[in-house]
Structure 1
């Protein structure tokens, strides 16, 4: 479920909430009742695994063919 950040235009409070993509966006501040706007945030991407190199997706047959040619 995505996490969205809102900023209140009245009191300046920052609100972070988890919402489904299909949920309606937040329109009022829970603290003061003022209007809020969505804030642009960085996307947290984590690559897990042994690595992401150009050699990771190559098949072993290409390696043996290239080594036999040299």
Structure 2
């Protein structure tokens, strides 16, 4: 639900109302003793860009932000040591064979 700005045409009181798009426009000034009519003002809107395949704020992050986020996520991952995992001869469960003499 959006916020709408209204301005009284008599006393110049400006106020904001949180209302549904389906609600009727306000007509009377909420200031006590003022009988003026209010007019809905045009809003500047939010800084959202709608284009491309997605409509998410993160779709339009700068490259430097993406690089920093990648470094941060890589730093949190545990590092694996390839040398420790594949030592030759370790972990072998074969017993030496006895020769028959």
Q: TM-score range by the shorter chain?
A: 0.5 to 0.7
More strand by share: 1
Q: Give the TM-score taking structure 1 as reference length.
A: 0.65
Choose from 38, 41, 59 the match for 1:39. 41
Q: Give the structure, 1 or 2, with the largest relative contact order (CA under 8 Å, sep 6 or more).
A: 1
1:10-49 per-position Cα deviation (integer Å, ceiling 9, x unaligned): 0000010011011010000000231011111200134621
Aligned residues: 53
1:20–1:50 Cα change, 3 Å: closer
More helix by share: 2
Unpaired segments ≥5 residues, structure 1: 54-70
Q: Give the TM-score taking structure 2 as reference length.
A: 0.46
Q: Over alpha carbons, which structure has the higher Rg?
A: 2
Q: CA RMSD in A?
A: 2.1
Unpaired segments ≥5 residues, structure 2: 49-55, 63-101
| Partner residue in 1 for 2:58 | 49
